[in-house]
Amino acid sequence: MTTDDARPAAPVTSASIIVLTLARRIESELGAALAPLDLTVRRLGLLGHISGVPGASFSDLARMSGISVQSVHTAVKSLVDAGLVRDRTARAGSASTIELTTKGSRLLAEAKEAVSTVDDIMFGPAADPIQQQVGGAILDAFAGFRPGA
């Protein structure tokens, strides 16, 4: 028996595993790109949702972010404390109007530049050709997509 005979067979190709593996690489790259801005991927997502969905409730933000309402309250409080968002109607029992501050808008713009850099690294002209295809396919699949439409 040679060492070649001892190797396990190649795994069966799975779209789920491929996407998960790529997503982890992207999250790692994005985390590194956002770190100098003192942002995490989760905080970036929350800032993006607050910016993109005016009037979103804590429940809406929780659904969009895939986290609990309690976690959203905690995260929004930290964003308020950092001067990135404000809650115009922050009183118990009333609906909130959460919005970005000028500082939050500037940070979100910087974060978008970091995301563009990661997109270029992962899917741009110098990226692996298969990753370029995947990036193009994803953009094509969602071209014209409008949430809630």
Q: Read off the pLDDT of residues 39-87 as tens digits, 9 standing for 90 and up.
A: 999 999 999 999 998 878 888 899 999 999 999 999 999 999 999 999 8
Question: For residue 23, how far is the Cα from the chain centroid?
Answer: 10
Provide mean pLDDT across the span 10-26. Answer: 86
**Which residues 6+ apart lie within 8 Å of 89 measured at CB?**
95, 96, 97
Tokens of 68: 């609990």
Q: Residue 81 half-sphere exposure, CB side, CA atoms within 13 Å?
A: 6
CA distances, 36 to each of 23, 43, 110, 111 (Å):
21, 14, 10, 10
Vertex 43: Cα angle to 42 and 49 (nearest 5): 90
Question: Is it the case that residue 7 has pLDDT exceeding 90?
Answer: no
Domain ranges of the chain: 40-110
With CA atoms as reference, report the closest residue to 45 among 11, 82, 72.
72
Confidence at 8, pLDDT banded by 50, 70, 90 = confident
Confidence at 2, pLDDT banded by 50, 70, 90 = low
The class of domain 40-110 in CATH terms is mainly alpha
pLDDT at 148: 55
